[in-house]
Amino acid sequence: MTQQTSQQTITLGSSGLTPADVLAVARHDARVELDAAAREHVASVRSHIEALAAPDHAPVYGVSTGFGALADTSIPVDMRRDLQRALIRSHASGAGPEVEREVVRALMLLRAKTLASGRTGVRPVVIETMLALLNAGITPIVHEYGSLGCSGDLAPLAHCAIVLLGEGRARDAQGQERPVSELLAEAGIEPITLEEKEGLALINGTDGMLGMLLMALADLEALVRVADVTCALSVQGLRGRDGVFRPELHQPLRPHPGQADSAANILAVLEGSPIIADVAAEGSRVQDAYSLRCAPQVAGGVRDTIAHARTVAERELAAAIDNPVVLEDGTVTSNGNFHGAPVAYVLDFLAVVAADLASIAERRTDRMLDKARSHGLPPFLADDPGVDSGFMIAQYTQAALVSDMKRLAVPASVDSIPSSAMQEDHVSMGWHAARKLRTAIANLRRVLAIELLTAARAIDLRSPLEPSQASAAAIAVLRRTVEGPGPDRFLAPDIAEAEARLLDGSVLTAVEEVTGRLR
């Protein structure tokens, strides 16, 4: 996504957040504020925690005890601030590459959302300090490895929480790493001293995996429409038929809603194509290959999977996850809601369907390069086959991407490594599922970019026959920065340009200006 600065302000309160709110803050730097009523509610709930923290009260997990396998260790009153600070310091133990800025911002916003629910027992100042970091553009440095997707995204959240204490590592709004104390002072933010339970509340949620799921859904909803566009271009490049996309073959006969939507999109992009009309007049072939004829069934299945994943994401977004949690009557009780299984499953499922969507796109590309199957196109779409190799190795790159996506489709959620002296003996690996899905989505975009390049070149080589108006609009966007057919040239920049046009949405926008909003 292109980084933009938003003037929008998101309010945390009883109404919660929408997926669009999360994207606005994570990707477009929308400001966030705490609703006055929510602040009052959070403050009133805090009184329950303070009562439980009294010296004469029985030990309560997270308030007056240690954590994990040390849950039975009672902590004296004068050591409890040290307990919370030590928790954050010890849990900020991630390793590996830095996580992307948008992921960290989503992580912080979603944790603040749960803290603002009044279910965690923190003081309002904890939430307000986290929101101040977001609004100042201060981004804690979070590492790739450290979460098992259970007991919360512990290490990633701890790397965010430690910055609230004036410690750890962070970057400013321009992306420069600077001392945390300097960043906070410049923004007028006072480091906080954590009281009972607050350290635990800052790290005990599925916020990282949920944030990445919400962003993945936004990306995939665009890319599945792009896949219908590139398929329609490939149908024309291969002189395919449009009859299989007729609505009467889909919803009435096989009522999967995603399939009907995909077929309708492809038909809309093909509408009025002189190439398709010429194929119909020729009448020499009865059926196209599966990668053309079955495209709605595959892309439709992807759509239906996205719909299921969105339901899970919206439910998780409505949740208030912590352990222990404060109930409506003020009772503080342990629970297992921090387990990331529901989110992890759909993250893995999305990686599976993304890989298959890429796979069928690669098959269409390969068909356009094979003179035995391309119905009249030159080998590899080369200008002078033999001297020129055309798009031969672009397909290799596409195949390499698809192969990697198949590896990434192996589910993370079926794995579990016990931790914390066997107290946490079953974990979700949801963070890992989310991380590999992000890679898979980037690969899918590159695969579709190569199909776009290939299909556009194939259509150009069909001249004087013209493509549909919507297809011509897509090709026109590409041709602003990528030349048409000709002798071999440095191809990597062309692939990067095509990818950029999919990332910024300009190809899809050009098509939808002709067809109307695709489904």
Tens of pLDDT, residues 128-169: 999 999 999 999 999 999 999 887 899 999 999 999 999 999
- Provide the phi-psi class of 418: left if phi over 0, else alpha when psi is between -120 and 50, else beta: beta
Residue 93: per-residue pLDDT: 96
What string of H, E and C letters represents the secondary structure of 373-399? CCCCCCHHHCCCECCECCCHHHHHHHH
Whether residue 452 contacts residue 223, with contact meaning beta carbons closer than 8 Å, is answered with: no
List of residues 6+ apart from 141 with CB closer than 8 A: 98, 159, 168, 169, 170, 171, 177
Task: State the catalytic residues.
Answer: 61
Residue 5: per-residue pLDDT: 58
Chain position carrying tokens 């949620």:
205
Residue 2: per-residue pLDDT: 41
Residue 333: per-residue pLDDT: 86
Helix (H, G, I), strand (E, B), or coil: what is residue 321? coil
Q: Which helix (H) or strand (E) holds 140?
A: strand 139-140
Q: How far apart are CA 188 and CA 4, in angstroms?
A: 24
Would you give per-residue pLDDT tens digits along the chain (519 residues)? Answer: 344 556 799 999 878 899 999 999 999 999 999 999 999 999 999 988 888 878 877 777 777 777 766 777 788 888 888 889 999 999 999 999 999 999 999 999 999 999 999 999 999 999 999 999 999 999 999 999 999 988 789 999 999 999 999 999 999 999 999 999 999 999 999 999 999 899 999 999 899 999 999 999 999 999 999 999 999 999 999 999 999 999 999 999 999 999 999 999 999 999 999 999 999 988 777 899 999 999 999 999 999 999 999 999 999 999 999 888 989 888 888 888 899 999 999 999 999 999 999 999 999 999 999 999 999 999 999 999 999 999 999 999 999 999 999 999 999 999 988 887 777 888 899 999 999 999 999 999 999 999 999 999 999 999 999 999 999 999 999 999 999 999 999 999 999 999 999 999 999 999 999 999 999
Residue count of the chain: 519
Tens of pLDDT, residues 160-197: 999 999 999 999 999 999 999 999 999 999 999 999 89
Question: What pTM was computed for the model?
Answer: 0.95
Residue 36: per-residue pLDDT: 95
> In the predicted model, what is the mean pLDDT of the chain?
94
Whether residue 452 contacts residue 387, with contact meaning beta carbons closer than 8 Å, is answered with: no
When the candidates are 3.30.2130.10, 1.20.1300.10, 3.40.50.720, 1.10.275.10, the CATH number that belongs to 9-205 is 1.10.275.10
Residue 373 has which token pair? 């199957």
List of residues 6+ apart from 70 with CB closer than 8 A: none
Whether residue 396 contacts residue 446, with contact meaning beta carbons closer than 8 Å, is answered with: no
| Exposure class string for 229-256: b at 16+ Cβ within 10 A, else e | bbbbbbbbbbbbbbebbeeeebeeeeeb
Q: Which of the 8 DSSP states describes residue 97?
A: E
H helix count then E strand count, the chain: 19, 9
Q: Which of the 8 DSSP states describes residue 441?
A: H
Tens of pLDDT, residues 70-80: 777 788 888 88
Tell me if the domain spanning 212-515 has CATH number 1.10.8.60: no
| Exposure class string for 140-166: b at 16+ Cβ within 10 A, else e | bbbbebbbbbbbbbbbbbbbbbbbbbb
* Phi, psi of 489, deg, nearest 5: -145, 175
* Domain residue ranges of the chain, discontinuous segments joined by +: 9-205, 212-515
- Provide the phi-psi class of 414: left if phi over 0, else alpha when psi is between -120 and 50, else beta: alpha
Neighbouring C-beta atoms of residue 462, cutoff 10 Å: 19
Tens of pLDDT, residues 325-347: 989 888 888 888 899 999 999 99
Helix (H, G, I), strand (E, B), or coil: what is residue 332? strand
Percent of the chain with pLDDT over 90: 82
